[in-house]
Structure 1
Amino acid sequence: MKMMRKKINKLLLLISFLSLCSYQELTSQTKKLQVINVKNANELRDFFEYTGNDIPIISGHRGQKSIGFAENSIEALEEVLSYTPAIFEVDPRLTKDSVIVLIHDATLERTTNGTGKVSDFTLEELKRLRLKDAEGNITNHQIPTLKEAIEWSRGKTILNLDKKDVPLSMMAQKLEEFDEESVVMVTVHNAAEAVFYYSKNKNRMFSAFIKTEEDFKEFDNSGVPWTQMIAYIGPRIKEEDNRIYNLLNAKGVMCMISAASTYDKLEESAERDKAYIEVLKDGASIIESDYPIEVFKAINSMIPDSSTKAKYYQIGG
C-alpha cells in the first residue's frame, strides 16, 4: 500500500511538473515584446539620426533595477521589452578564461551569490552562480556572456556596451565575430577611443561622452562621422545644455542624459516622473534610467503622432 502511494505521489509530481513546463512554454510563445527592429548599420544610423520629430528613446541602465530581475541579465532586458521598446546599456567584463560576460562590478558580492573577483573565475564557474535582484534576493538568472546577449538582442533591441576591463583591441575583435551586422554600440569616453574602433570597423556606432564644447571640438576633428554617434552629455539638466544641444543636433546627433545617478534617486515616483519629462523638454532625445518601465509610463504622452522612426518600433515575439 505504501509503495502504491509513493508511486501515485511521484506520478502526481511528474504531472504537475509537465503541466508547469507546458504553461511556461506557452507563456514564452505567446508573450509579445515591444521591439526596436534594426537590422543593419545603415538602419542603425537612420534610427539615431536627430530630425527634431523623433520618438523619445528609453535606455535601460544595466538593463533595469527592480525586484525579481537582476541587472545585466537577459531576463531583465526582456521584461522591459514586455512594456516598452528600449535600448540597453550593459557592462562587459572578462573572465579568467578570457570570455566576455555582462556584469557591472569587478567583484561578485553585490550582484551574485558568489564572492571574489570576476576575473578570478572561469565562465563555467561563473555560470554556477545566480544573480541577485535590486533588493539582494537571489534569482534564477545567470551571468550572460556577451555573445549570448547579442544573439538574444537581434531584432529586439540595441545594446550599448560600456567600458569596463575588456581591452579595446579584444572588444573590437569579438564584435567582429559576434556582430556581423554592426548593430551593437560601443561607449567611448574620448575621441581617441572612437578613432580606434572606427579604424577597425567603419560601420561601428558610438555612444560618445560629449559634455563640453571642448569635447565637441575633439570629436569634430577626429574624422569619425557624426552620423555614427549619439552623445552622452551628462547626468542632469544644466543651463549650458542649450549650446551643446544646438551644436550636436545641427550635426544630426541625438543627445542623451542618464538619470541613473541623479533623478532616479528621487524618493517620490511623482518627482521622478516630472524629472524624466523635464529632461525631454530640455532637449534630450534619449533618457537613460535604472527604471525604464517607469520612464515609459511617465513620457508616454510625449510620443509624437507621426515620426519617420516609427517603422523601427514593432510588436515582436
Structure 2
Amino acid sequence: MMIRTNWLGIFALILLGCGSSPSDQSEAVNQPDSSITERHHIKVESLNDTRNFYNWTSDRIPLVSAHRGGPYPGFPENAIETFENVLKYTPAIIELDVAMTQDSVLVLMHDDDLDRTTNGTGKVNEVTYDYIQTLFLEDNEGKLTEFKVPTLEEALIWSKGKALLTVDIKRSVPFEKVVEEVRETGSEAHAALISYTFPAAKKLNILAPELMLSVTIRNEGEIRRFEETGIPWDRVIAFTGVAERPKSFNEALHEKGVFTILGTLGNLDRSAVARGDELYVNFVNNGADILATDRPIETAKAIQTLHPENSSKSKYFTHVD
C-alpha cells in the first residue's frame, strides 16, 4: 500500500544500524539486506510536475543521484535490481548509461565493451541483443550475479512513480534513438538527458524541447555561454563538475531557478571516506542541491536532516511498504 508521508518520516528509516566510523558505516550498508521491504519514491505525474520539482526554491530538499545506479557488493552497476536496492534506503535520482547493440537495441551499459561488468566479451556495438540476453552482470568486485542487462525501455518503464532518471548517452548512440524511446514509453516526466557540451545540449533541445536536460555549467563564463544557446532555464539541471564550486556561483544558478548537481563521485567521495561523511553536509550548505555519488546510501544518511520541515517539495515523495 502506498501512503504519503513527511520527509522526516522518510529519512528516519534510511539506514538500519551503522557503526561508529565511516568505514564501519560503509561495511554495514554495503551488505544486501533482504529484510528491508520499504521503498522511498519520487513521484511525478507530468512534465509540469517535473519542472516544478527541479525549480529551485529556498525550501528545496537536497538529494542524492546514484552514479551508474548506485552499485554495492551484490548489486552491479546499471541494473534495475541495484536501483531498487538504493530506494530501500533513500529516495534518489538514478543516473544510468545507455549504449546500443549491433542490431540497434538500447541497453544499459557504461563501457564500450562487456568484459568488466558481465560474463561476456566483445564490444556492445558489435554484438546482438540476443547475445546480451544470454549474459549475467558482475558487481564491481567481479562477483557474478543473477541479474541481466536491462534495456533502456525497461528502465524507463520501471522509473514511473519511483525515481527520476538522468540518462548518460554514450557517443555511439544517436540522440534521436533515445528521444524516441522516451516518447514511446511515455517517460518524458521521468528522464532528463545528460549533455556535456553546449552544442549537444542545443541539439537535444531542438529534438525534444519538452525534456529536462542535465547540462555541465561550471563557472560564470559557462552560464553566459549556456544562455547563448537559447535553451530555457526551466529545462535545465546544472551539473557543476566534480570539484566544489564557490557558494556565490551556486547562488547565481539558484537565482535562475536552477538545481545544481555536484559530482562527488571520485575524489570528493574518497575525501568523505577519509575525513567523515559530514563533508557531504558542507557541500549542501555551500549550495549543492543534488550530490551525484558512488555512495548514495551513506551520502543520504549524512544529509538527511538538511531540509525544511514543511518543504513545498515534500508532496513529490512517497514511502511504499
**Where does residue 128 of structure 2 map in the other structure?**
122
Q: Is structure 2 residue 293 aligned with structure 1 residue 293?
A: no
Judge conservation of contact 1:263–1:272 (CA < 8 Å) in 2.
Answer: no
Q: Is structure 2 residue 248 aligned with structure 1 residue 237?
A: no
1:148-227 equivalence runs, <5 A: 148-164=154-170, 165-227=172-234
Deviation of 1:243 after TM superposition, in Å, equals 3.5
The alignment partner of 2:89 has SS state of: coil
The range that moved more, 190-199 or 94-103, is 190-199
Q: Which residue type is aligned with residue 291 of structure 1? A: R
The range that moved more, 205-214 or 167-176, is 167-176
1:96 pairs with one of 98, 102, 106: 102
Counterparts of 2:236 and 2:207, CA distance in 1:
16
Q: Which residue type is aligned with residue 101 of structure 1? A: V
Q: Which residue type is aligned with residue 57 of structure 1? A: L
2:317 pairs with one of 306, 313, 317: 313
1:22-41 equivalence runs, <5 A: 31-41=37-47
Q: Which residue type is aligned with residue 259 of structure 1? A: T
Counterparts of 1:269 and 1:223, CA distance in 2:
40
**Where does residue 255 of structure 1 map in the other structure?**
260
Q: Which residue type is aligned with residue 122 of structure 2? A: G
**Where does residue 18 of structure 1 map in the other structure?**
none
Counterparts of 1:242 and 1:35, CA distance in 2:
29
* 1:270-310 superposed Cα distances (whole Å, 9 cap, x missing partner): 62512211211111011011111111111112132120000
Deviation of 1:269 after TM superposition, in Å, equals 3.6
Judge conservation of contact 2:160–2:187 (CA < 8 Å) in 1.
Answer: no
The alignment partner of 1:111 has SS state of: coil
* 1:18-62 superposed Cα distances (whole Å, 9 cap, x missing partner): xxxxxxxxx89x933100001111000111111111110110000
Deviation of 1:129 after TM superposition, in Å, equals 0.8
Q: Which residue type is aligned with residue 230 of structure 1? A: I
Deviation of 1:175 after TM superposition, in Å, equals 2.2
Counterparts of 1:232 and 1:204, CA distance in 2:
16
Judge conservation of contact 1:183–1:204 (CA < 8 Å) in 2.
Answer: no
**Where does residue 135 of structure 1 map in the other structure?**
141
Shift in CA distance, 172/181, structure 1 to aligned 2, threshold 3 Å: closer
- Give the greater-gyration-radius structure (CA): 1
**Where does residue 72 of structure 1 map in the other structure?**
78
Judge conservation of contact 2:74–2:143 (CA < 8 Å) in 1.
Answer: yes
Identity among equivalent pairs (%): 37
The alignment partner of 1:217 has SS state of: helix
Greater per-residue helix proportion: 1
Counterparts of 2:240 and 2:279, CA distance in 1:
16
The range that moved more, 35-44 or 187-196, is 187-196
The alignment partner of 2:313 has SS state of: helix
Shift in CA distance, 251/275, structure 1 to aligned 2, threshold 3 Å: same
What is the count of residue pairs matched by the alignment?
Answer: 287
The two structures have a TM-score, normalised by structure 2, of 0.85
The alignment partner of 1:101 has SS state of: strand
Q: Which residue type is aligned with residue 219 of structure 2? A: T
Please report the RMSD computed on the Cα atoms of aligned residues, expressed in angstroms. Answer: 1.8
Task: Give the gaps of 5 or more residues in structure 1.
Answer: 1-26
Q: Which of 1 and 2 has higher RCO (CA within 8 Å, sep 6+)?
A: 2
1:280 pairs with one of 275, 279, 284: 284
The range that moved more, 78-87 or 243-252, is 243-252
The two structures have a TM-score, normalised by structure 1, of 0.86
**Where does residue 9 of structure 2 map in the other structure?**
none
